[in-house]
Amino acid sequence: MKRRGFFGALGGAAAYMLAGGRAGARLGGGGAAPQGASSLLVPMDDAQTNHLKAYGIAYDAVKRAGHTEWLLNYRGGSFLVPDDATARRAATLAGVAAEGVTDAQLLAIRGTIEQNNMDAIILERAPRVAIYAPPFAPPWDDAVTMALQYADIPFTRVWDPEVLGGRLADFDWLHLHHEDFTGQDSKFYLTYAGAGWLNDMVQADQATARALRYATVPALKKAVAERIRGYVENGGFLFAMCTATETLELALAAHDVDIAAAFADGTPMDPDADGKLDWSRAMACQNAHLEKNPAIPVFSDIDGHQVNNPVLRQPLGAFELFNFSAKIDPVFTMLVQCHRQVIPDFYGVTTSFTRATLKSADTILAEEPGAPWVKYIHGDLGKGTWTYLGGHDPEDPQHQIGAPPTDLSLHPTSPGYRLILNNVLFPAARKRELKT
């Protein structure tokens, strides 16, 4: 497993000593901070009443004060924010449990982290967040967009013109979701031919390609994929889910291969197409086999669940988060902070990642034990990182197109949505070089 540890912890020996008391009044429940309180502890274990909005409290504290601590593996990955009237009011209004902590209590809180698999990471700069999303409204919902809106974390939408126009340099963190970077419109024509929303989507993509002077939509999407790759290589943080994970890899590997030809004319794909893919361009995957039958709405065998293949479709199980060393591998530890280690699985057009198609440098963050696929992976490219989470919506396991959006007020403690929000805060951490 590749080790990566360039994010910062507290400076100074005393700052590494977190110990575990739960003393202090509960603010989310309307209590007042104890006399002398200088910090608010936002617990992220089962004492928390709204885990998702807690990320918004932490983000806002970083933005306002330039300093928040993420207490890795301490009470579910709790946050320590400066105690002021704004933070207390925000926690109360959001229904987020928070506990006032005095300096004396904080010193008491600080040795257990030193003595256990825990660490304290300084969050010092609120990341500038972008979501790659079309200007038209498709009949499905983006879980990350919903998570950010629910947590009150600001973001900017970007699309092909912004990506190709160099706008990604303005953002620290980029999310991709249900987008087909091979330019085949997710092969929706097989099951939704004639649907108004599909016709609108195809026409919009074609108009965008023409406006940006690309001969075809696949050519446009390949160019966009390369710009996204360059964004990561130059230091960007990429988080992707669902279709975007698999199709981005295929678009990068198919730099000189037209894998959308079968979609365009309905004939079988070139049987030698697999051998023409350049996997050195892909970030996470290698040696995958393309689905060459144009009548099957599947892209490749990267996805282990094959949700749209009536013969190969696999049932959902549950996936387990790995337990990393917080002091040695703080990056991986940040990405898996949760109050649950085992999480029910959920489908997407790309639900999982077949182990045999992963590159050796990839870090597996979560897997279904004993299965030939994994759920959650992470890796480096140049100065940046990418993280892929399979599936579409953690609280909608089947997720049918046209289904109503998930109401996160009904799922404020969702462990699956916590994984998404871990990724949003991840770029806020102070950088450092580990001595190990």
DSSP-assigned states of every residue in 146-161 = HHHHHHT---EEE-HH
Of 106, 95, 104, which is closest to residue 69 (Cα–Cα)? 106
Task: Please report the pLDDT score of residue 32 as a whole number.
Answer: 40
The DSSP bridge pattern shows strands 173-176 and 129-132 to be: parallel
The tokens describing 314, both together, are 């696999």
The 8-class DSSP code of residue 355 comes to G
Q: How far is CA 257 from CA 116, 248, 254, 271, 278, in A?
A: 51, 14, 5, 12, 9
Residues across the chain: 436
**140: CB partners within 8 A, 6+ apart:** 178, 392, 399, 401, 402, 403
Return the pLDDT at 35: 43
| Residue 83 tokens, joined | 């105690």
* Radius of gyration over every alpha carbon of the chain, rounded to an integer in angstroms: 22
- Residues of the chain short of pLDDT 50, as ranges, are 1-27, 29-36, 432-436
pLDDT value of residue 38: 80
Report which of 282, 303, 308, 278 is spatially closest to residue 293, judged by C-alpha positions.
Answer: 308
pLDDT of 23 reads: 37
pLDDT of residue 37: 54
In sequence order, the β-bridge partners of residue 74 are none
The DSSP secondary structure of 246-301, one letter per residue, reads HHHHHHHHTTT--TTHHHHHSSPPPTTGGGG--TTS-SSB-S--B---TTS---BS
Q: What pLDDT sits at residue 12?
A: 31
- In this prediction, residue 58 carries a pLDDT of 97
Q: What is the pLDDT of residue 8?
A: 37
Contacts of 37 by beta carbon, 8 Å cutoff, 6+ apart: 24, 83, 100, 101, 102
5 with 329: CB under 8 angstroms?
Answer: yes
- Paired strand residues for 174: 130, 238
Question: What was the pLDDT predicted at 323?
Answer: 96
| Amino acid at the residue 335 | L
pLDDT score at 225: 97
pLDDT of residue 24: 42
CB-based burial label for 167 (10 Å; 0-12, 13-18, 19+): middle
Report pLDDT for 2.
Answer: 37
CA dist 186 and 254 (Å) reads 16
Whole-model pTM: value is 0.90
User: What SS3 class is residue 42?
Assistant: strand
Please tell me the predicted confidence (pLDDT) of residue 262: 67
Q: What is the DSSP string of 50-65?
A: -HHHHHHHHHHHHHHH
Which residues fall within 8 angstroms of residue 291, CB to CB, at 6 or more apart?
298, 299, 300, 301, 309
Question: How far apart, in Å, are the Cα atoms of 363 and each of 144, 173, 232?
Answer: 22, 19, 17
